[in-house]
Structures are given as structure tokens and as C-alpha cells.
Amino acid sequence: MSRMISLPLIALSIALCIPVSSVQAQTIESTYEIISTSAAGNKLSFQDNVNFMPGKAAGIVLTVFSDSLKQTIDGIGSSFTESSAFVLAQLDPRKRLEVMERIYGQSGANFSLTRTHIGSCDFSVEGKYSYAPVAGDTKLTSFSIAEDKRGFDPQRYPGIKAPDYDLLPMIKEALAIKGNQAEKELKIIASAWTAPAWMKDIETWYIPGSAENNWQGTGGALKPEYEAVYADYLVKYLQAYQAEGVDIWGITPVNEPHGNNGQWESMNFSPQSQNDFIKNHLGPRLHRGGFKNTKLLIYDQNRDGLEDWTDLIFADEETKPYLYGAAVHWYESTNKVYEDTFERVKARFPEMAILHTEGCIDDLGKDPPNGVTDPLRFKETNWFHNDAFWWNKTATDWAYSVTWEGVKVEDHPIYTPVHRYARNIIVSLDHWMNGWIDWNVVLDHKGGPNHVGNFCGAPIMIDTEAQNVYYTPIYYVLAQFSRTIRPGDRAVQTEFQRPGLDADALHACATINSKDLLSIQLLNTTWEPIDYKLQIGEQYAKIRIEANSVQTVRVPLWELKR
């Protein structure tokens, strides 16, 4: 017996951004639904419903094993940065609130997991600041987070319309939006790019590469005598934010401990030195300071190096009680997800979480490599209000044309931005990832501001002079994932048979919530629609995923069991 049920009214609020309270009472759990965001122009649009029928499917088949539960999901989201706050401060306050509602509101993307920086980073307006500016202040009596809430002077920055708006006010505004809805949860992970300069062996923020140092820049490392002080510094940050009404859910000891060759604020750790720092200083201080439940994550850099860190730090029985898991980024490859790495880490350390804490379309606006003339990529403002840029092979990253030793150029081809996001999220969640965070949620139309010129893409890009807000395709893809994959959901086992298809043509993952509602996410990277069959238990449905699209299929299991 086949069955097909009509879409509920509440589902329409996803596509139309209508507040759920304004929709007639009817629950999303009462039906099947298929949502699509595509290169053809669909944005959280609904496809026709499907019939499920008894039997075993053949051909291209996605099988979802709904009883085979895997990791718990912490959330999907993007990040707070000073640069994002600076851009938003240039909007009319009413328009700014509209943008923030589209990010954090229940009728918008409803992001549930996010990240912010402790002190300055490259996406600070001017950079080179900390919360403890006085050299030698080992008692941290000068500690203050005033920099995060001082705002931007309109005389210095003529475009500012909200002088009191800044990083901390942005976070508070998001929490206020969350506080007005039934699901208030917004988990914030905080990462420092560096300790205060005086705590480091180079006694400055970073030293760029130059002819004098053989082009080997550095961010330096903690002086041994300041390891305990730096741990106190991180705890003081948690206390100061808590006093402002902002509870930080998770923390990493430092962003990108391998360093960045001195391009902007950074600080190096090795696996061993970070392990010692956590075991002897940060872990005990978090527990003594009342932050035992703050999720401490190690590493916080590219996926390819994860095992070197987990094999040493997770294996230390003295360190393990302080840890929640590991944080990773995606910059070592534009096409690899490193799911095999996740599988090995999870097999060895099943109790530890893995979260993606940073990823973006980097190197935006750089000069083209030799021989590349694609106008979609290299027109000055090609990515702004140009969906075609995001849906085509138009982007290159930092390593596309370098000749540095050790860089595998084949891992950095020209790529499609939407595919990079959707592939990374879907494959990661299918292989033990607990949560996924994008980098800056908002940037200006050039991909900044960035005090060292490291311009990047963002889900929302704004021409502040024209007050023109562009919700990129990345925004809609992240919103689709965020709205249908919620904190507390569980990943479930999937199996894909793809005869006749390229290995990268079609990707999928699945999660289930506490009410037995399955959410299946798919990416079609090809320029042709693909007909496949969705097998759940003893029933299957025939479904078409449109060309170059991200599709979500939601199936209430109780309907199948009737």
C-alpha cells in the first residue's frame, strides 16, 4: 500500500520566513516533505510529495537504517566576529535586526551552534589587542573585555549608524532573539588566536615572513613562565562573559596551533605542549573556577593533522577527564572531507566528540593564477548578488597556485562553493561529526573588513553604503541544514548504492529527532537531475533530486509503520 500526505502549513514558514506563531496549528511531524535549494533558483522550496511502497529497491538506492543510532548532534551555525559586528553596525538598526532575525530567529536559519574569538583575530577591524594589555601583569589586574563592547566611533568610521554596537552587543542581540522563542539554545565556542603578546617568546602579535627570515613568519609560543597565567586569562574571559549574561558553552586553548606563518595573530602549540598545558593548567583551573561543564576541545586546525593530536592527548588518562573532544577546520583541501580520519579517531576514542569550528570561502578577491581568466570568479565584485559564482566552479583557495614544500596542489583545485559546504557537512555528519560551524556570518561586499587583507566569503554579504543585503546561496544551504538538523538529534547509519554515478555525484546523511522524524540530506553535484530510491525498512520511495542542488527529505517513521 502506498501513501502520500499533504504538506503542513508550518512547513511553509521555512521558505517564506513567516513566524511559526502566525501559522495555524498543525505539526511538522504529521507528514513527509521534500525541501530543495538549487542552482536553478530554488531557495528552501518544496517539491512534490512522494509515495512509499513496500519492497526492496534496486538501482541508485539510499538506505537509511533508522534503528542504528550514532553520534548526538550539537548543532549547525556560523560565527560572531568583530568584523561581522562592524558591518552590522553600519545598517539602519531596523534592518540590522531583520538580518539578525534571519540568522538566529526560529523563522530564519535558527542557528544553534556558533563560535567567537577571544581577543583579536584577522577578522578584527584593526587587530592586535588582548584583554590584558599590561606587560608583566601576572595577576591580570588590568584584565577587561571593554574592547568587545566599546563600539565604533562614527567620527572615525563615518558609516556607523549604531555607535554602541560591537562583538558583545551582537552576541547579546542573538541571545535576545533566541530568548523570544521556544527553543532558546545557542551554544557558543570561544577560541583565542593568541595569548597577549607579552606572554609569548616573540613578545609581539606575529612576525610576517620576509627575506630577512627566509619567508618563515611565526606567531610565537607561550613562554613557560606564563602558561599558568594564560590559563587564568582564559578563565577570566569566561567569568567576564558570564557576568555579562553570556555563557560560553565550549572553548579551545588556541586557534590553529600549527600557526599561519605569521600572517596574522597566532600562537603555536605542539600536541605535547598543548597536552601539558591542559593537564597541568587549563583543565584544573576550569574545574576550580566553576567551569567544569564548559566543553574543552583540543586542536582547532585542519582535519589532516587530527590524528597526531588525538593519539597523544586523548590517550593521556590524566588529560582525558577535562576534555569533550576535538575541533577541526577544512583548509587543507577544497575537496577532501577526511572521513576516514574521523572513522579511525572515533574507533579509538568513541567517547570523544568531533566538531568543525571553522570553514569559509577563503582567498576571495585575490588576483587570478596564471592562465585562469574565468570572469565569474575574477570580476571585482563577482560574488556579490551573483548566485552563479556560488553554484559553479569559480573559487580557488590559498593553496591553489603555491609552490611551497609539502602542499598538495591536487587537493586545491578550482571548486564550487556550495558543493564544498554541502559535501563537507553531509559527509562529516555521516562519519561522526557532532556539529558544524561556518566562519564569519556577515561580511561586507568585499569579504571584510580584515586588518591583514585576508578577505573571505560569508553567508550574508552587505554593501553597507547602499544598505544592500545579499543572502548568498551558502546562507540558504546552511539554513536548510540548521532548520532540519537540531541539537539533540542523532545521526543514523546510511548506505548508498550508486551504480553508474561518479563517486562525487551524490552524497547523503541522515539524522533522527526524539519524535522519530527522520531528516535526510542529499547533495547532487552534477548538472543533471538524478532519480534515486529512498529505502527505509521494508518500504521505499522514488525521488528525484534536481540538478546542482541540496535536498532535504523528512519522513515521520510512525507514518511508515501504520
What's the pLDDT at 369? Answer: 63
pLDDT 10s digits, 419-454? 999 999 999 999 999 999 999 999 999 999 999 999
pLDDT band at 408 (very low <50, low <70, confident <90, very high): confident
Intervals of CATH 2.60.40.1180 along the chain: 9-71+488-560
Contact 414, 372 (CB under 8 A): yes
- Any residues with CB less than 8 A from the CB of 534 and at least 6 apart, and which? 50, 57, 61, 62, 64, 520, 540, 541, 543, 553, 555
pLDDT 10s digits, 543-559? 999 999 999 999 999 88
Q: Strands, DSSP E only, in 160-238?
A: 187-192
Top CATH class, 9-71+488-560: mainly beta
d(CA 546, CA 548): 7
Contact 222, 280 (CB under 8 A): no
Measured torsion, CA atoms of residues 393, 302, 460, 14, in degrees rounded to the nearest 10: 90
What's the pLDDT at 223? Answer: 98
Using DSSP, state whether 41 is helix, strand or coil: coil
In angstroms, the Cα distances linking 28 to 31, 80, 195, 374, 517 are 7, 30, 47, 44, 9
What's the pLDDT at 267? Answer: 98
Q: How many residues does the chain have?
A: 562
User: What CATH superfamily classification does 74-484 receive?
Assistant: Glycosidases (3.20.20.80)
What's the pLDDT at 368? Answer: 64
In angstroms, the Cα distances linking 260 to 198, 215, 216, 443, 503 are 19, 12, 10, 22, 33
Task: Say which residue, 357 or 9, is predicted with more confidence.
Answer: 357
What's the pLDDT at 559? Answer: 85
State the burial class of residue 20 (Cβ atoms within 10 Å of its Cβ: 0-12, 13-18, 19+): middle
State the burial class of residue 258 (Cβ atoms within 10 Å of its Cβ: 0-12, 13-18, 19+): middle
Whether the per-residue pLDDT at 121 is higher than 90: the answer is yes
Point out the least confidently predicted range of 92-106, 146-160, 171-185: 171-185
| Amino acid in the structure at residue 199 | M
Q: What percent of the chain has pLDDT over 90?
A: 83
pTM of full prediction above 0.75: yes
CA-based max dimension of the chain? 76
Averaged pLDDT score across all residues of the chain: 91
pLDDT 10s digits, 25-61? 333 333 589 999 999 999 999 988 888 999 999 999 9
Measured torsion, CA atoms of residues 282, 285, 286, 290, in degrees rounded to the nearest 10: -170
d(CA 410, CA 245): 47
Supply angle C-alpha 556, 557, 558, rounded to 5: 95
What's the pLDDT at 215? Answer: 76
pLDDT 10s digits, 232-281? 999 999 999 999 999 999 999 999 999 999 999 999 999 999 999 999 99
Across the beta sheet with 460-463, what order do the strands follow? 442-444, 460-463, 468-471
What's the pLDDT at 159? Answer: 95
pLDDT 10s digits, 2-31? 444 333 333 434 444 433 333 333 333 335
Whether the per-residue pLDDT at 372 is higher than 90: the answer is no
Q: What are phi and psi of 192, to 5 degrees?
A: -90, 135
Intervals of CATH 3.20.20.80 along the chain: 74-484
| DSSP type of residue 459 | S
The answer for 173, left when phi > 0, alpha when psi is -120 to 50, beta otherwise, is alpha
d(CA 521, CA 194): 37
Task: Say which residue, 88 or 383, is predicted with more confidence.
Answer: 88
Point out the least confidently predicted range of 54-68, 311-325, 379-393, 420-434: 379-393
Contact 186, 123 (CB under 8 A): no
In angstroms, the Cα distances linking 189 to 88, 329, 490 are 21, 14, 21
Contact 427, 509 (CB under 8 A): yes
What's the pLDDT at 379? Answer: 53
Contact 274, 253 (CB under 8 A): yes
d(CA 283, CA 413): 40
Whether the per-residue pLDDT at 1 is higher than 50: the answer is no
Contact 490, 511 (CB under 8 A): yes
